[in-house]
Structures are given as C-alpha cells and as structure tokens.
Amino acid sequence: MDTEGGPGRGPRRGSGPGWEATSIRALRRHLRLSQTGMAAELGSRQQTVSEWETGLYRPRGASVRLLTIIAERAGFEYEASGSSYKREDEDAGAP
C-alpha cells in the first residue's frame, strides 16, 4: 500500500521522522509539479500525494527517502519532523 496505516488501521501520526503535509506541498510547488507529476517522480499515485498533502497520511519508508533526495537536489529548504535541511553551498554564500 502506498499510504501509511492501511485499511482499518488509520494513519500513524508522529511515528518518527518524516515529512509534514505543508512541506510536501511546498516541495511540489517548488518543483512546479502537479500532484500527478509529483506522483510520477515518486512512482506512486496522485491520490497518495493528495493524501500526504491533506495530512490524511504521511509518507514512510522509501517515499521519505525519495522526498529527501528530491528536495536536496532541488535546493529546497525544508523541515522534516523537527530537523531542517539547507544546502551547504547556501551556508557558504555560494550561488
């Protein structure tokens, strides 16, 4: 299943490091992708991206890692469950 929780179990909110709904939406907009385009990049369904962005479910496992890799390569500043990422060259003042 592409979403956390599974049928009848409901989402597991706050179950370790992960991406918040607002950060996922902001990354998608930073990349100028539709939910369908973001889903294609991640190898998931548009409905899954929608459920992440509305907070119904949170990404887990490989999806979390892919979101992180995509964000880092795009130079996207984000906070994922209390930790933040900023490209090192930005810290050094490089373009």
Residue 30 domain-assigned (yes or no): yes
Query: What tokens were used for 76?
Result: 């996207």
The residue type of 44 is S
The whole domain housing 44 covers 21-91
Confidence at residue 18, expressed as pLDDT on a 0 to 100 scale: 72
Question: What's this model's pTM, rounded to 2 decimal places?
Answer: 0.69
Give the C-alpha separation, 42 to 15, whole Å: 21
Domains: count for the chain: 1
Confidence at residue 86, expressed as pLDDT on a 0 to 100 scale: 53
Residue 13 domain-assigned (yes or no): no
Residue 70 domain-assigned (yes or no): yes
- Give tens-digit pLDDT for 26-80: 999 999 999 999 999 999 999 999 999 999 999 999 999 999 999 999 999 876 5
CATH assignment at residue 72:
1.10.260.40
Confidence at residue 77, expressed as pLDDT on a 0 to 100 scale: 85
Pair 19, 52: CB distance under 8 Å: yes
Residue 1 domain-assigned (yes or no): no
Give the C-alpha separation, 92 to 62, whole Å: 30
Confidence at residue 70, expressed as pLDDT on a 0 to 100 scale: 95
